[in-house]
Structure 1
Amino acid sequence: MSTPDLPPDYYFRNFCGLVDHVRAHHDDLLNDTERHQVSTLRALPAQAQMRYVRMLMRRGNLFRLDRLQYAEIADTAQSAQTLEAAGLVRLDPDLPVEAVAGLYSKPEWLHTLADKVSTEQLRALRALKRAELDAELRNIYSGDRPCLPSTIIELRQPAWFDTFKLLYFGNLHQDLTEFVLRDLGLYRFENYRIDRDTRLIENREQLQELLDYYRLRDLREEVLAGQPEGILEYENSLQQLGNGSRLLCKKVERDRLALARQLERLDAPAEAVTLYERCMAPPARERRARLMSKAGEIGASLKLCGDMLASPRSEEEQFFAADFGYRTARKNKLPWPQPQKYIPPDALIRLDQDEYGVEAGVAAHLDANGECHYVENTLFGGIFGLYYWDLIFAPAAGAFTNPFQYRPHDLYETDFLSLRGAQWRDPEVDFTRPKQLADELIQRWQEKQGIANPFVAWEMLSPELIQSALERIPAAHWAAVFSRIWRAPRENRSGLPDLIFFPADGGYELLEVKGPGDRLQKNQLRWMQHFEAHQIPHKVINVEWR
């Protein structure tokens, strides 16, 4: 398939689409400065607007005018002067040398310095590394403004665009590139409803707190590379952001977990525990239990394990508490119930080793007695995504803010289903009519082909596989699998078995294939325990090479 050609002003059209959308749906959240900036810009000639947008799309706010040459902008100097007259940029601002040093290469600086320093000094400067040269430039100019060989253009107050991007995307890691990927046909998205009722950010206070968070977030990697004192100071700044929206709380919580984990690595366990205590999400309690045990606080560690078992915040936390509590208690000769360890049924197959791998080898081996497909997480996940398509993409408060979402913002929130009760479908009922449902899902598979969905891997599904799966797998089994996926969609959409086998005499079986030296992962074992509880046929196939 050929890639479509984009018009020369594609980026400007995309920018206008973003800005117009925000003004239409979020104007009440903008302040006077932001409204003035965008209104001033949009009133200018198109050439000046395109020059401004070109700079917005690049890093920083200082540029050399001679490096801003674009075919679709005929008069670079005129458009820059228009922008300056409108108050959107400054031309040749009075800046110290360290602010503009990075705009010029080392040879360019040496050429500029030839008239300012002696030949001997110039020879010494030529031998310096770039960082050393930058430091020396500060000494040479020492408060003087350098006479530069090209015009410098500075964006004035470009932060307004961060506000627009945050309102549009719901984050600041996406940008106008999303439009390009769509226009090139690399991604397709569902045509869900976007309006004021689906806004993610509800008021100016939430917006400002998120903007403050992202400005603080720019410092995180530097902080993580530093010492415990800096990490604690940074975390204190996070606390000052306030309670804010649920979106902000999630981001702060995720950062706090990363900070606490780094404190562990820096051998500051007490400080790490303090941060974990402020976190609600897993694995905060798990990490605390481990650190307490390591510090000899066995009673506190076991009590926390008991709390996790009584009120688990995730399946993983529940499994951890049972296992870690038992091992810790046994090591310290304390009472603790031994967790029941599930051992799934297994079988051994000896195969000739080939280039296609163990899963393909087992599938080929079983094809002699039926039909075997490599599906891993894609069969149940794909049918799940097709079956609940309308529910996943239903409009709801905080769900959709822009046309580039492969999922609603709140898909992984605990109240996702309760906010969409009208769209709920009961698989226990629907899957009892497999032929009609198969026709419906196959039609949806054809109509929605290629549209991004977090559960659907299009290339792994086919009408034949959908038909066979719905005919062979009982409704109760679909309901049991789907209920566990809904329990934790992000985590439980993975860990499902590699193969599905349809024996010639009917029925089906889910098979997890393990080659020599391989073993079940925790999420795979949890799925198999779930299968056992719901009488879903499953088995581990251990492979040995002949």
Structure 2
Amino acid sequence: MPLTHRRAAQKKAELLEQLRAMELPAQTFRDWCPMLDDQLLSLMVGELCDRLRLMFFGNLAQDWSEFVLTDLGIYRYESVDIGPESRGFQCRQDLEDYLHLRQLRVSVEQGADLADIVPPLLAFSSSNPYLCSRQSCLLFQIAQQLERSGELEQALLLYQQSAHGEARWRQIRVLEQLGRDAEAYDQALAFSQTPGSDEESQRLERALTRLQRKLGLQMVKKPKAASETRIDLVLPAPTHGSVEIAVRDHLQQDDAPVHYVENTLLCSLFGLLCWEAIFAPLPGSFFHPFHSGPVDLHSPDFYAPAANTCSNAVYCNLNNPTTGN
């Protein structure tokens, strides 16, 4: 039965509303379309296609539309010379382990009982750093849930088992919530000897100061900050533009031009100088041609291999300014 108000540009939701308004009886497909063949064919290789997509991309978030969007110029990626050693999965077991971890994560998101998820997650082991990082992220995610729900002892256990970048810092906070300040102080002191990042170093420094005060320990004096050169200006309110532009115009001289660039200049220069290092085809950094940056950029062990590559790239670029991008 044709729809009376159907238009070519009409949305499916509008067509559905028209069908519902007609109050047609429920029928089988054969009753609706008696002239078609009795046989309906369905493609039953969805799971296989997902596995092939996972093998190529290293994740199930990207799909084959990346090829089309890249050809159309909508997505643009840096060309990286990717070899067999750069693959996200080196064997079939890596693939099975990824799907196992993904199923555990889906179960967490669907609100499954954590008591059924934590034991197999803690028992998981792999020689693949990419999979280990995914395990650490999921452990950290569950630990956060437990911490928010007040199950601090269980949260502490998972934080201790996780290599997530914020797991050590959260251990200190949980120990403080448990009233175990002396243990928190010892942990913070030990972690501060080998901080994983500048952010963690600053957080541990604040924690040590707070815990020293709580425990009545002698406060360690902070080194005095380096003196700064300050210029105080009193300028008329700008009639157009911002305060920064007004300061730029005031300081401008013919023999000493002034440019206002905020943080963009240094970041851009650093990116150009270290471009070869950022997009070096190190194992575990790029799995396929559709990465906008290294996969392991935020992993705890990113610094060591990247620092060596960056040093070499900077040396080459400084001695040969025509190299790089």
Query: Cα deviations across residues 340-362 of structure 1 (Å, max 9, x unaligned)?
Result: 46376344445526774454444
1:222 aligns with 2:110: yes
Residue in 2 that maps onto 1:112: 25
**Do the aligned partners of residues 244 and 197 (structure 1) sit closer, same or farther apart at CA in structure 2, a change above 3 Å counting?**
closer
Q: Where does 1:226-265 land on structure 2 (aligned, <5 Å)?
A: 230-265=113-148
In 2, the alpha carbon distance for the partners of 1:249 and 1:191 equals 27
Query: Cα deviations across residues 430-458 of structure 1 (Å, max 9, x unaligned)?
Result: 64x7xx63xx26xx5xxx5xxxxxxxxxx
The gaps in structure 2 that reach 5 residues or longer are: 1-15, 34-38
The amino acid that maps onto 1:372 is H
**What's the secondary structure of 1:254's corresponding residue?**
helix
Aligned residues: 299
Residue in 2 that maps onto 1:372: 259
In 1, the alpha carbon distance for the partners of 2:66 and 2:159 equals 35
The amino acid that maps onto 1:367 is Q
**Do the aligned partners of residues 429 and 173 (structure 1) sit closer, same or farther apart at CA in structure 2, a change above 3 Å counting?**
closer
Residue in 1 that maps onto 2:275: 389
**Do the aligned partners of residues 217 and 110 (structure 1) sit closer, same or farther apart at CA in structure 2, a change above 3 Å counting?**
farther
Residue in 2 that maps onto 1:286: 169
The amino acid that maps onto 1:366 is L
Residue in 2 that maps onto 1:176: 64
Q: Where does 1:153-164 land on structure 2 (aligned, <5 Å)?
A: 154-164=42-52
Query: Cα deviations across residues 193-244 of structure 1 (Å, max 9, x unaligned)?
Result: 2342432211111111012222333333223xx7xxx234333342344335
The amino acid that maps onto 1:374 is V
Q: Where does 1:385-424 land on structure 2 (aligned, <5 Å)?
A: 385-413=271-299, 414=301, 418=305, 424=311
In 2, the alpha carbon distance for the partners of 1:420 and 1:196 equals 23
Deviation of 1:162 (Å): 1.7
In 2, the alpha carbon distance for the partners of 1:187 and 1:246 equals 28
In 2, the alpha carbon distance for the partners of 1:367 and 1:178 equals 47
In 2, the alpha carbon distance for the partners of 1:209 and 1:178 equals 25
Deviation of 1:146 (Å): 9.7
Which one has a larger percent strand, Structure 1 or Structure 2?
A: 1
Does the Cα contact within 8 Å between 2:133 and 2:163 map onto a contact in 1?
A: no
Does the Cα contact within 8 Å between 1:181 and 1:187 map onto a contact in 2?
A: yes
**Do the aligned partners of residues 111 and 342 (structure 1) sit closer, same or farther apart at CA in structure 2, a change above 3 Å counting?**
farther
**Do the aligned partners of residues 335 and 423 (structure 1) sit closer, same or farther apart at CA in structure 2, a change above 3 Å counting?**
closer
Query: Cα deviations across residues 296-337 of structure 1 (Å, max 9, x unaligned)?
Result: 211111111111122222222222222211122213422342
**Do the aligned partners of residues 153 and 282 (structure 1) sit closer, same or farther apart at CA in structure 2, a change above 3 Å counting?**
same
In 2, the alpha carbon distance for the partners of 1:420 and 1:314 equals 14
- The normalised TM-score by structure 2 is 0.76
**Do the aligned partners of residues 325 and 107 (structure 1) sit closer, same or farther apart at CA in structure 2, a change above 3 Å counting?**
same
**What's the secondary structure of 1:335's corresponding residue?**
coil
**Do the aligned partners of residues 161 and 296 (structure 1) sit closer, same or farther apart at CA in structure 2, a change above 3 Å counting?**
same
**What's the secondary structure of 1:219's corresponding residue?**
helix
Does the Cα contact within 8 Å between 2:277 and 2:306 map onto a contact in 1?
A: no
- More relative contact order, 1 or 2 (CA 8 Å, 6+ apart): 2
**What's the secondary structure of 2:258's corresponding residue?**
strand
In 2, the alpha carbon distance for the partners of 1:179 and 1:249 equals 29
Percentage of pairs with the same residue: 25
Residue in 1 that maps onto 2:6: none
Residue in 2 that maps onto 1:319: 202
Q: Where does 1:114-133 land on structure 2 (aligned, <5 Å)?
A: none
In 2, the alpha carbon distance for the partners of 1:349 and 1:397 equals 52
Does the Cα contact within 8 Å between 1:292 and 1:298 map onto a contact in 2?
A: yes
Q: Please provide the CA RMSD for this pair.
A: 3.5
Does the Cα contact within 8 Å between 1:364 and 1:372 map onto a contact in 2?
A: no
The gaps in structure 1 that reach 5 residues or longer are: 1-103, 116-144, 449-546
Residue in 2 that maps onto 1:202: 90
